Amino acid sequence: MGNGLWKMLILSACLALSSQFSFGQKGKAEADYYPIGYSGDTWAGKVVAVDGKERTLTLEAEKKRFTVYVPDAPYEWILNKHRQRCVDFQYDLKASGQQFKYQGFETSIADILPPPLENGMMRRPNPPSDNRILEENFATFLGRKVVAYYFSREHPEVWRIEINAK
């Protein structure tokens, strides 16, 4: 193989790896348990602005911004399948518990493994009703890298926020 071909192969491999590790913006959720009807939409970025009164977080990545709405709903801290801290909001306020289904939106090793529960379903009790993010607590998100899992593009309301290190 010629020297130029080796350089091209190495460059291609580096580009492929760097795209895997970059903290991008719009994306699709990996295979895991999600609310029934969730389309897999995510947006990753650094929180550059918050508005506790309007209940919004503005995320920025690669000079693009996206604003998500944080529901005034009970939340609980969870660890996702990668053991990252997440805030999950009660997405169905009328239900006695929250039901999740194992879904794969991006291909990964996890997609070929069978889900651990029968029929790929999981049910969790609702978080305590007084577990709510208050207006004055929104500032704690500033400067953090997060991944927002959201419903609807017109009025993107999050049901999960994955918290990454500051």
- Residue 93 CA to residue 67 CA, distance in Å, equals 23
3-state SS track over 72-105: CCCEEEEECCCCCEEEEECCCCCCCEEEEEEECC
Query: In this predicted structure, what is the pLDDT of residue 36?
Result: 87
Look at residue 163 in the predicted model and tell me its pLDDT.
93
Predicted pLDDT at 10:
40
What is the model's pLDDT at position 159? 94
| Calculated CA dihedral for residues 24, 66, 37, 130, nearest 10 degrees | 110
**So what's the pLDDT on residue 142?**
96
Q: pLDDT tens per residue, the chain (166 residues)?
A: 555 544 443 433 433 333 333 456 899 998 888 998 899 999 999 999 999 999 999 999 999 999 999 999 999 999 887 888 999 999 999 999 999 888 877 655 555 555 565 677 888 999 999 999 999 999 999 999 999 999 987 889 999 999 986 5
- DSSP symbols for 27-41: EEPPSEEEETT---E
With beta carbons less than 8 A apart as the criterion, state whether 70 and 76 touch.
no
pLDDT of residue 69: 97
92 φ/ψ angles, rounded to the nearest 5 degrees: -120, 100
| Whole-number Å distance between alpha carbons of 121 and 103 | 10
pLDDT of residue 114: 54
- Among candidate residues 99, 156, 88, 162, the one with its CA nearest the CA of residue 128: 88
